[in-house]
A = this chain, B = another copy of it.
């Protein structure tokens, strides 16, 4: 109607949600625009009207994923307070992330897309990784005040998570999350 709401934002959201759903199930390459259109219940023509190329749509899916991940991380950090031990926090975060198979798959499918495409998806991912590392660092600073190594520890935490996610997605059912968490939180405290 008006210039601001060009292209019904509600439908736009539905498209992105459907795309994310299908990508999560099958990966970017195996998800066709016809699939997405069918899932939303619109025609391919309409889909094209909202997203001129598949890359544009993936862009928005990624954006949505980035925002959600960042919000989740921030929510965790906000919840950190004195009553919780480092071990408890780590344990909660590791379990939640590693056991969310759908999210993990999407994560890797989008990274794969970033590596393959020639656009700026790689840069956007890098930027996000820095942002997420910073959020984690902030959280760590509340648990272990006055410890110089927080940035390094944040990177270790994020890397470990990514690596464990990968194994979880591959089907590793016996990841010793508790032991890993204990090791990491102990080493953090001893610093």
Contact = CB atoms under 8 A, between A and B. Distances in A.
Nearest to A133: B167
Number of copies of this protein chain within its complex: 4
Interface string A23-66: 00011011000000000000000000000000000000000000
Given A27-B112, A162-B163, A162-B167, 13 more contacts: A26-B116, A29-B116, A30-B116, A108-B115, A112-B112, A125-B170, A126-B172, A152-B180, A155-B175, A159-B163, A159-B167, A161-B163, A163-B163
A11 interface: no
Contacts of A175: 155
A115 B168 CA distance: 11
A6 B170 CA distance: 34
A160 to B, nearest CB: 5
Given A152-B179, A163-B162, A169 B29 contact: no
A73 interface: no
A78 to B, nearest CB: 24
Contacts of A169: 115
Interface of A: 26-27, 29-30, 105, 108-109, 111-112, 114-116, 122-123, 125-126, 129, 149, 151-153, 155-156, 158-164, 166-167, 169-172, 175-176, 179-180, 183-184, 186-187, 190-191
B167 A156 contact: no
B180 A155 contact: yes
